[in-house]
Amino acid sequence: MIERIDSKKAVELFKYASVTELGVQADQVRRSLHGNKTTFIKNMHLNVTNICVNNCRFCSFKKKSNDKDAYSLKISEAIEQVEKGVKEGIREVHLVNALNPELGLKYYTELISTIKNTYPNLVVKGLTAIEIDFLSKIENLTHEAVVDALINAGVEIFPGGGAEIFSKRVRRLLGTSKAPKEVYLKVHRIIHSRGIKSNATMLYGHYENAEEVVEHLEALRSLQDETGGFSAFIPLRFVSDNTPLKVEERGAQYDLKIIAFSRLFLDNIEHIKAYWVSLSPEVAQVALSFGADDLDGTIYRERIIRSAGAQVKPGMTEQEMKKLIQDAGFVPVERDSHFRAVLKVG
Ligand code: V47
């Protein structure tokens, strides 16, 4: 086991170590934890509304209610989408949505319990800490009450979206009024206190510097020391094409640096996901040799990052996913939402 990297040393390492140097070490850690296996899940994304009170400059998914392509699904329409996913063989619904005051807690608990009653074997992963904070405000409830209502309705794991990057300086530049670091961490702490796992993310590749990357990861690492509740960390490469934010692309070398550095710094989080939707399948493949051990999933119909301009297919088949992993020199393992290998009968 390598020694824990303290925050001061981490900034130097991030600034001055080469990608290859970080990659070699991260690959060692990855192999000691997961060998030559790479996991993936058959999943779908369900985004029931794109109508949002926020106006984050990095997001192209959001709409105002009078925009022509604004939408908000009835529960029956959302279930129709889930049914299509079920026909594709999914085992998890990743439910993440814009902040729409028309859809309150009752809508979500009804939606989740309808999904669970109709398809008891499906796992629902939703909502983000930011949506939980929003629901607590519009319903005048505590964060605890919202988390408990979602768990009672059938949520088994919570996604990591909405963290963006914790630095206040960068958040101003990103024009986001989303709940800050303290709220994100508080909600995840509550989730973990219920014995439920969640994921964590970081949106990178815009204005952040080395200190701000370390600040973000340090906050996650210290909550994980306290609760042990994070299953996976997902670095999300910013896709700028259709957004008003025009930033200089930092390229695949920077993606690999972020992946490798995260694997080394987050010594208490078991899984690092290479999210092929924002990285591209090709960079995600290389990321598997730089510390990542999971490719997320087949992701039937991703919308949020593709609306920002990511030039990827709206989903992959199980065969495509396996080939991607095998071609990168790893053994594909289909998993469930809790990172357990799925055993096939027959
Ligand atoms: O929260 C928004 C990000 C996130 C852009 O928990 C963008 O297992 C890139 O959180 N370019 C949604 N990213 C995705 C997400 C996620 C994905 C997969 C697995 C899990 C998990 C979580 O996408 C948002 C936001 O941070 N995002 N706009 C953009 N232009």
pLDDT recorded at residue 12: 96
Q: Report the separation in Å between the CA atom of 176 and the middle of ligand 1, taken as the mean of its atom positions.
A: 14
CA angle 233, 234, 235 (to 5 degrees): 120
pLDDT tens per residue, range 180-234: 999 999 999 999 999 999 999 999 999 999 999 999 999 999 999 999 999 999 9
For 123-181, how does the pLDDT look when each residue is reduced to its tens digit (9 = 90+)? 999 999 999 999 999 999 999 999 999 999 999 999 999 999 999 999 999 999 899 99
pLDDT at 1: 55
- Give the residue whose CA is nearest to atom 12 of ligand 1: 161
**CB of 305 sitting under 6 A from ligand 1:** yes
Site of tokens 């079920």: 86
Looking at the predicted structure, is the pLDDT value of residue 344 above 80? no
Please tell me the predicted confidence (pLDDT) of residue 260. 98
The full set of domain ranges for the chain reads 7-329
Query: Which DSSP state fits 339?
Result: S
- Which residue puts its alpha carbon closest to atom 21 of ligand 1? 159
- pLDDT over 80 at 44, yes or no: yes
Q: Is residue 236 in contact with ligand 1, taking CB distance under 6 Å?
A: yes
**pLDDT for 342:** 95
**Cβ(154) to ligand 1 under 6 A?**
no
CA of 346 to the centre of ligand 1 (A): 37
Amino acid 44 reads M
pLDDT band at 69 (very low <50, low <70, confident <90, very high): very high
User: Which of the following CATH numbers is that of domain 7-329: 3.20.20.80, 3.10.129.10, 3.20.20.70, 3.40.50.720?
Assistant: 3.20.20.70
Sign of CA dihedral 241, 242, 248, 250: negative
Q: Is residue 116 within 8 Å of residue 153, measured between CB atoms?
A: yes
Q: Is the CB of 160 under 6 A from ligand 1?
A: yes
Buried b (16+ CB within 10 A) or exposed e, 294-322: bbbbbbbebebbbbbebebeebbeeeebb
pLDDT bin (cut points 50, 70, 90) of residue 346 is low
CA dihedral 17, 18, 23, 25 (to 10 degrees): -40
- pTM for the model stands at 0.97
pLDDT tens-digit series, residues 81-107? 999 999 999 999 999 999 999 999 999
Point out the ligand 1 atom lying closest to the alpha carbon of residue 243: 30
